Structure 1
Amino acid sequence: MKKKILFICLGNICRSPSAEAIMKHYVAKRGQEDQFYIDSAGISGYHSGDPADERMQAHAIRRGYELTSLSRKFYPDADFENFDMIIGMDDQNVRDLRRMATTEEERGKIYKMTDFCRRFSYRDSVPDPYYGGAAGFELVLDLLEDAVEGLLEQLKD
């Protein structure tokens, strides 16, 4: 049975589509595509139907990741039912997800991305790079690569 993982940020145009692309890339490198279903969504539906932020795409492409997904809103009823893990990029995302969860089972599916980091002791959040410069986008990618490796290690056990 496939492990179904949903990555969440506020608008689903920077951090969560990057997490989705990196996870898909790492899973493909390991030849494990048949073991995972990976998607991303935003707490807000403000950018629904839009591609990832062009700056985020440019930084990701330089590392070999293609951000191909289109933004979509998180739908609590369907997404809590359809996914095994729902991983927020920051504390606010996690708080919003917990507020939308209606059962202990749903709350048990919620995680924070930086909890899977191994190399970085960046426990707070994957910071939103939207209003920052190039260094912010690079930091997001560094944190997500680290967290995805940690997540895959944890899922192996």
Structure 2
Amino acid sequence: MENEMRKQLLVVCTGNTCRSPMAAAILNHILQEQGLDGQYFAHSAGVAAFDHQPAAENAIAAAKENGLDLSGHQSKRITLEDVAAAEHIFVMSEDQRRLLASAVSDAAEKITVMQVPDPFGGDMEVYRACFAQIKDWFSRYFEEHPLCRS
């Protein structure tokens, strides 16, 4: 199904090579499991990203260990259009929330802070722990805030 016909869920971190690509892959997997991939899709961006960079090797490996593929990921710097188009935005830190909320006047109401530490530069265990934290966070979040089937 064309992405333009589905509601966008945006996941944001700093460089868009570690946390947010893993989180978007996890979120798309959850959407598929819940039969909601026809209504929603997740994508990612970074507040300080350089465009067209691959995901971090350890992020790719952690995702692969969990059956998800980040090998084709290319980083993307967030745009005002991304923020405006998103149905909901998940950010990794309070600083990222403040930045987006100050850039787009009505963004604050659709931003949720995940509080996931940056694994950048960490070893494989750090990335595994980060992946698990993101997965657990989304599981808890969607128990309390189920997505609508429409």
TM-score (norm 1): 0.82
- Separation (CA, whole Å) in 2 of partners of 1:151 and 1:82: 21
Question: 116, 126, 133: which is aligned to 1:126?
Answer: 116
- 1:152 and 2:142 matched: yes
Q: Which secondary structure state, in structure 2, belongs to the residue aligned with residue 96 of structure 1?
A: helix
| CA deviation after TM superposition for structure 1 residue 145, in Å | 0.6
TM-score, with normalisation over the residues of structure 2?
0.85
**SS at 2:117's partner residue?**
coil
In 1, the alpha carbon distance for the partners of 2:26 and 2:49 equals: 22
Residue 85 of structure 1: how far off its partner (Å): 0.8
Distance 1:90 1:53, change over 3 A: same
2:37 is the alignment partner of 1:9 = no
Q: Which runs of 4+ in 1 moved over 3 A?
A: none
Letter in 1 for 2:48: S
Which residue is equivalent to 1:135?
125
RMSD: 1.7
Shift of 1:42: 0.4
CA distance in structure 2 between the aligned counterparts of 1:110 and 1:92, rounded to whole angstroms = 12
- How many pairs does the alignment contain? 142
> Any conservation in 1 of the 2:83–2:100 contact (CA below 8 Å)?
no
The equivalent position to 1:65 in structure 2, one of 64, 68, 71, is 68
Q: Where does the alignment leave 5 or more consecutive residues of structure 2 unmatched?
A: none
Structure 1: gaps of 5 or more residues = 114-124
Specify the code of the residue in structure 2 equivalent to 1:41. Answer: A
User: What are the within-5 Å matches in structure 2 for residues 59-98 of structure 1?
Assistant: 59-67=62-70, 68-76=72-80, 78-98=81-101
